[in-house]
């Protein structure tokens, strides 16, 4: 999709990892709120209310609602999508779904190839591959695999982000044939980066909020050329 007008009012929600966050953008200024866990969807509503009040906005004044559709925690994904569907449908505004790995790629702030890796439990990881610069291009769609199955670019400096690489760093380093930066500061996708991914790079799928779907990648690996 084309990037929306950066001056529109956007609410974003990210609940797919242990780091749950909400962000509200008004005229390009972003207010971010987060907490380490959500016990109930009402906790998420509280974060949303707080962020909206700081930006002096109400739900009817929003132009777009963005949600991280995963992959990640099954419960977290469903909670985020459910709340966003209710807000967007009730306010009569469109919703945009964007996957967590794309959000991490944008959050990296890198200029080059980015490998986001998220802990998928059961000794597996979610991963993807992106080229980030003036645009954010998906090279390998989100997939799940054993750490030994992570796919890498043939060449070029690589930035590795997410919360899934730390336990498997030696495995990743042994498979690499190029220089890599392991960025511990970018561990989880966040709502502020989701807004940037949509507003700056035009990522995600926007439409009827009731059409939002979760990004589930178990047993679904998508590969693209020029990768080993």
Mean pLDDT, range 124-131, rounded to an integer:
98
- Whether 227 has a pLDDT exceeding 90, the answer reads no
Q: Which two tokens stand for residue 174?
A: 């042994």
Higher-confidence residue of 42 and 145: namely 145
Q: What is the mean pLDDT of the chain?
A: 92
Indicate if 101-182 has the same CATH topology as 10-99+189-211: yes
Out of 20-34, 43-57, 214-228, pick the least confident: 214-228
Domain boundaries, the chain: 10-99+189-211, 101-182
- Whether 221 has a pLDDT exceeding 70, the answer reads no
What gap in Å lies between CA 203 and CA 193, rounded to an integer? 11
Query: Phi, psi at residue 45, to the nearest 5°?
Result: -60, -40
| 67: nearest Cα among 108, 35, 22, 121 | 22
- CB 191 within 8 Å of CB 13: yes
Query: Phi, psi at residue 61, to the nearest 5°?
Result: -85, -5
- CB 182 within 8 Å of CB 169: yes
Question: What does the pLDDT read at residue 210?
Answer: 97
What gap in Å lies between CA 10 and CA 46, rounded to an integer? 17
pLDDT bracket for residue 1 (50, 70, 90): low
Question: What does the pLDDT read at residue 25?
Answer: 97
Q: Over the stretch 26-55, which tens digit does the pLDDT of each residue have?
A: 988 999 998 877 776 788 999 999 999 999
Strand pairing class (112-121; 124-132): antiparallel
Q: Over the stretch 65-120, which tens digit does the pLDDT of each residue have?
A: 999 999 999 999 999 999 999 999 999 999 999 999 999 999 999 999 999 999 99
What gap in Å lies between CA 63 and CA 71, rounded to an integer? 25
Torsion-angle region of residue 180: left (phi > 0), alpha (psi -120 to 50) or beta? beta
What class, spelled out in words, does domain 101-182 have in CATH? Answer: alpha beta
- CB 157 within 8 Å of CB 178: yes
| In the block, residue with structure tokens 């790995």 | 101
Cis amide linkage into residue 71, ω under 30° from 0 = yes
Question: What does the pLDDT read at residue 35?
Answer: 80
- CB 13 within 8 Å of CB 82: no
Strands (E) in 45-166, as ranges, are 64-68, 95-98, 112-121, 124-132, 136-145, 158-161
What gap in Å lies between CA 163 and CA 156, rounded to an integer? 22
Contacts of residue 211, Cβ cutoff 8 Å, sequence gap at least 6: none
pTM of the model: 0.91
HSE-up (13 A, CA, CB side) for residue 54: 16
Mean pLDDT, range 3-28, rounded to an integer:
89
- Whether 223 has a pLDDT exceeding 60, the answer reads no
CATH of range 10-99+189-211; options 3.30.420.40, 3.60.21.10, 3.40.50.11540, 3.20.190.10: 3.30.420.40
């Amino acid at each position: 999709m084309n990037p929306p007008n950066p001056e529109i009012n956007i609410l974003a929600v990210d609940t797919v990892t242990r780091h749950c966050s909400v962000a509200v953008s008004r005229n390009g200024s972003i207010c971010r709120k987060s907490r380490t866990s959500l016990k109930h969807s009402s906790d998420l509503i509280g974060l949303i209310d707080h962020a909206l009040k700081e930006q002096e906005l109400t739900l009817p004044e929003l132009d777009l609602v963005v949600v991280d559709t995963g992959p990640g925690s099954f419960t977290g994904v469903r909670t985020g999508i459910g709340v966003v569907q209710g807000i967007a449908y009730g306010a009569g505004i469109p919703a945009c779904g964007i996957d967590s790995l794309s959000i991490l790629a944008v959050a990296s702030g890198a200029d080059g190839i980015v490998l986001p890796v998220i802990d998928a439990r059961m000794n597996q990881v979610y991963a993807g591959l992106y080229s980030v610069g003036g645009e954010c291009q998906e090279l390998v769609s989100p997939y799940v695999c054993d750490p030994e199955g992570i796919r890498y670019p043939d060449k070029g400096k690589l930035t590795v982000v997410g919360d899934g690489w730390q336990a498997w760093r030696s495995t990743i380093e042994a498979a690499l044939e190029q220089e890599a930066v392991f960025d511990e500061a970018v561990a989880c996708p966040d709502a502020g980066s989701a807004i940037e991914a949509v507003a700056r790079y035009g990522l995600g799928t926007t439409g009827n909020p009731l059409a939002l779907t979760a990004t589930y990648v178990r047993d679904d690996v998508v590969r693209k050329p020029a990768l080993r």
